[in-house]
Structure 1
Amino acid sequence: MDSSTPRPALDKSLSTLQLWGIAVGLVISGEYFGWSYGWASAGTMGFLITAAFIALMYATFIFSFTELTTSIPHAGGPFEYSRRAFGPTGGYVAGFATLVEFVFAPPAIALAIGAYLNVQFPALDPKLAAVGAYAVFMALNIAGVQIAATFELVITLVAIFELLVFMGVVAPGFSIANFAKGGWAGQDSFSTAAIPGMFAAIPFAIWFFLAIEGVAMAAEEAKDPKRSIPIAYIAGILTLLVLAAGVMLFAGGAGDWTKLSNINDPLPQAMKLIVGEQSGWLHMLVWLGLFGLIASFHGIILGYSRQIFALARAGMLPSVLCQVHPRLHTPHWAVLAGGVIGIAAIFSDEVFSFGGQTLTANIVTMSVFGAIVMYIVSMASLFKLRRSEPDMVRPFRAPLYPWFPAFALLAAVVCLLTMVYYNPLVAGLFFGLGVLGYVTFRLTSRQPEATRPAQSVA
């Protein structure tokens, strides 16, 4: 292509409602599965405390993160904030962490999609179903951001409706005694012996809210990011807080909650305790429950593709990955690259099945490591930019500064240290890949091809 010819750019077409749909849709699969693994170590009551702490961390983080997103509406999101605050090395750390978060979350969700389908079709291999999900939703993401975002909004609304149906159906059988029985790591009352399990459950509480920050990666494609992103973020986190509390309480109170830990489909199994295996409600939940998983799966593919696109545009990944399709205006090669890694993870039992955890649990933990490191670097970037660029235009300013970002930063550090202690093998893999990537980056980094934001933001 002639250098004087404008290169294809991302479309600026997303509305506030679509951004809210992306914010909730990115996360809503966390209401359907993943969190119940936390019950295995903490019990229902212990995990309730862990989840409350994580919810407070996310609330303060989102209110603070929104300042960065509206000030620097860039497809790279955290990568660009940290690069601006701390230079190329800071950008690398945030970019690597965000990439791990968004590339490793989809295979975990895809495996859950396979598990849900396997309930209806026992002969269907869940892993093959997961690969099929990748093929369908990578194609949908490549088709165009308006198509992808509209689909995300519709499927998110259906997923929310289904969670409300679940709560309504199991409500008649709800018992607080069921929820509290053995709720402190197998004991009926609190003791200090329950505390280690509460810390060990942190990654699964984070799964309730993981990836909401992915809206930042759609900022370049928003019609009015300075107005719509704060609304989408704040409404999104409030929506998710209500849904997370409702799902956890009603599922735990439906019967023997120990049968719901360490499985990929806790909601259908919880409903089965109330309505039986042959109920039409159960079959409806299995089918519509897929909508929640699909909403997050589809939305995170959008997120990882924009992160890969932005890193490639900045010279940190091969330049082919920042190409935008000339007709569809989507980063098609970035979509496909993330999918290849995710599909490889689905079949990586030998790599990720260790430490007594399932394949899904370890993939979830790997994704959470990326998220927590990104949160730390992002909050550090906020403090740095407040000092180094006090005159930057900030359409939204973090409330109760510096207390909100300071709490989010401190809580994220606590989460990281705890996760390293309880997941040393996954931590070693995460940090080992990070160091290897950094060495490669320093040896092979090229001059940024698109530090000219006009080509992508216009």
Structure 2
Amino acid sequence: MSDHKEYLAKRQLKKGTAGWLLLAGLGVSYVISGDFAGWNFGFAQAGWGGFAIASVLMGLMYYTLVLSLAEMSAAIPAAGGGYSFARQAMGPAGGYLTGLAILIEYALAPAAIVIFIGSAVNALLGVDGPVIYALFYLVFIGIHLAGVGEALKVMMVISGLAVFAIIATAVALIGEFDVNNLYDIAVTDAAGASEFMPMGWYGVWAALPFAMWLFLAVEGVPLAAEEAKNPAKDVPKGIIAAMTFLLFTALLVVVLLAGAVGADVIGKSAVPLVDALKISGNETLATLVNVLGLAGLVASFFSIIYGYSRLVFALSRAGYLPRSLSLTSKRKVPSRALIIPGVFGFFVSLSGEGDLILAMAVVGATVSYALMSLSHILLRIKQPDLVRPYKTPGGIVTSSISLLLSLVALTGVYAFDPRAFNLTLGLFVIGGLYYFFVSRHNLVAGSAEEEFALLSQAELELQADENGDVVSAV
């Protein structure tokens, strides 16, 4: 136990940093860039009505997933989030595959977002490319290295600016709403096509990945569990509050933008909020929202960096990844888990293919959602006596809905972009081979229960040592 104590003493996060409000802000920050652009291309795939159906389905998937995660995060408050839940439910291999799926999502998403940031900076300042990508990675990883409390507070401010832009846009456009504008896309001869769904049911299927952009990455809130003030209460409350707010912002942009200037225009726009404001005569506000749209991109970029660092920290601490990645600094920040995936993301961003990278991240996300939903079901069946400070309304029925819809969403990615699907499958194969030949032989603990026991015991001993130091100093 002393060896484990020494091992874990070098791998400590800062406890008690985030209350439920900061966690809710983290959840909103993960996602908020998705409200500014990307989702609207779903109109081109399905028309307004078809995309509305896709959005309702994906909103239901995320809400049922969030309710399931709220229960598991309260019962198993570990920095690994979905990986930790899956390991307890499905053993080391299941935990690793879930962690790998989340890691693919969280390592690739910042690379895609920084490309979009580059485009936004180019529109404002005329500068783009690798220098901008490197600058944003350096600055925001640097802020994270300063400490989690400082990072989360900066993130809240940036997210607040982005939310202000969305609400201001909605207020400006509400008087321009005309229901006829929702249905200005020509009806095709596809199966099930109508004025409401001009591309038929196939369009709804192909629009699912775009609808996910309205909520993608909110599931990362449990990654902050070990830094929460009261994980059993704060994480469930934070993630549910974040998802509820994101449903509200999704409703605003999907309905009001198309209703004000037409679904056809919005479906072709690279900056839908800005274009909707310009067309409706709100030029000054459009300029402001164009600037604040960059804040939305930065908020998601910044917070997902936080998410991948905590996931890499947890996987490394458990032995799935090289153990040196989980070493923490004097500020109790996992420095290497911040820097090394950031370097990887930067090199990926040099491809310039933001849409492809983001589609690959969505593949990783949908696989992780299915595995996390399955974990909830298995934990309810295999460990009915597990202490659950929060219980998912509906139990396994709720998680079964998210499991089914996540599998449907996965097929939707294939319908939209088979290349992204196949490339991500290749990453899973590489990751699976690494586990089989390397990491399964280097696990710190043989089971999830043993891992959590070691963490709990070592933490108690380290706290006792700290208290002893204080007493002796006095």
Both proteins in one fold, TM over 0.5: yes
Aligned mate of 2:405, from 389, 406, 411: 411
Give yes or no for contact 1:116–1:265 (8 Å, CA) kept in 2.
no
Give yes or no for contact 2:43–2:267 (8 Å, CA) kept in 1.
yes
Structure 1 CA distance, aligned partners of 2:340 and 2:14?
21
Per-residue deviation, 1:220: 0.6
Aligned mate of 2:295, from 274, 291, 296: 291
AA aligned to 1:102 is: Y
Name the counterpart of 1:352.
none
Cα–Cα, structure 1 residues 198 and 185, in superposed 2: closer, same or farther, change >3 Å? farther
Give the TM-score of the pair, scaled to structure 1: 0.91
Per-residue deviation, 1:180: 1.7
Name the counterpart of 2:276.
270
Structure 2 CA distance, aligned partners of 1:225 and 1:184?
50
Give yes or no for contact 1:41–1:185 (8 Å, CA) kept in 2.
no
AA aligned to 1:45 is: G
Per-residue deviation, 1:131: 3.0
Cα–Cα, structure 1 residues 266 and 151, in superposed 2: closer, same or farther, change >3 Å? same
Deviates more, 1:285-294 or 1:374-383: 285-294
For the pair 1:16 / 2:20, whether they are aligned, the reply is: yes
The 5 A counterparts of 1:215-234 are 215-234=221-240
Give yes or no for contact 1:117–1:126 (8 Å, CA) kept in 2.
no
Name the counterpart of 2:35.
31
Name the counterpart of 1:375.
369
Q: Which runs of 4+ in 1 moved over 6 A?
A: 185-188
Structure 2 CA distance, aligned partners of 1:116 and 1:185?
34
Note the residue ranges of structure 1 that are not aligned, 5 or more in a row.
350-358
Per-residue deviation, 1:67: 0.8
Structure 2 CA distance, aligned partners of 1:107 and 1:238?
27
Structure 1 CA distance, aligned partners of 2:148 and 2:26?
11
Deviates more, 1:252-261 or 1:64-73: 252-261
Deviates more, 1:368-377 or 1:101-110: 101-110
Structure 1 CA distance, aligned partners of 2:51 and 2:366?
19
Give yes or no for contact 1:44–1:183 (8 Å, CA) kept in 2.
no
The 5 A counterparts of 1:150-229 are 150-182=153-185, 189-190=195-196, 193-229=199-235
Give yes or no for contact 2:220–2:307 (8 Å, CA) kept in 1.
yes
Structure 1 CA distance, aligned partners of 2:106 and 2:263?
30
Name the counterpart of 1:244.
250
Structure 2 CA distance, aligned partners of 1:148 and 1:307?
17
Structure 1 CA distance, aligned partners of 2:149 and 2:422?
39
Per-residue deviation, 1:409: 0.9
Give yes or no for contact 2:30–2:300 (8 Å, CA) kept in 1.
yes
AA aligned to 1:95 is: G
AA aligned to 1:423 is: D
Give yes or no for contact 1:64–1:405 (8 Å, CA) kept in 2.
yes
AA aligned to 2:216 is: L
AA aligned to 1:366 is: M
Give yes or no for contact 2:318–2:444 (8 Å, CA) kept in 1.
yes
Give yes or no for contact 1:200–1:419 (8 Å, CA) kept in 2.
yes
Per-residue deviation, 1:412: 1.0
Per-residue deviation, 1:275: 2.5
Name the counterpart of 1:304.
308
CA RMSD in angstroms comes to: 2.2
Name the counterpart of 2:387.
393
AA aligned to 1:307 is: L
For the pair 1:318 / 2:322, whether they are aligned, the reply is: yes
AA aligned to 1:342 is: G
Name the counterpart of 2:427.
433
The percent of aligned pairs where both chains have the same amino acid is 34
Structure 2 CA distance, aligned partners of 1:196 and 1:231?
37
Per-residue deviation, 1:421: 4.0
2:260 aligned counterpart, secondary structure: coil
Structure 2 CA distance, aligned partners of 1:176 and 1:33?
22
Give yes or no for contact 2:194–2:200 (8 Å, CA) kept in 1.
no
1:253 aligned counterpart, secondary structure: helix
2:149 aligned counterpart, secondary structure: helix
Aligned mate of 1:120, from 100, 121, 124: 124
Cα–Cα, structure 1 residues 161 and 312, in superposed 2: closer, same or farther, change >3 Å? same
Aligned mate of 1:448, from 429, 443, 448: 443
Cα–Cα, structure 1 residues 40 and 87, in superposed 2: closer, same or farther, change >3 Å? same
The 5 A counterparts of 1:53-64 are 53-64=57-68
Structure 2 CA distance, aligned partners of 1:138 and 1:83?
29
Per-residue deviation, 1:8: 4.6
AA aligned to 1:247 is: V
Aligned mate of 2:134, from 114, 131, 135: 131
Structure 1 CA distance, aligned partners of 2:358 and 2:11?
35
Per-residue deviation, 1:191: 6.0
- 1:294-345: per-residue Cα shift (whole Å, max 9, x none)? 21111111001111111111211111211111x2211111111221122122
Give the TM-score of the pair, scaled to structure 2: 0.88
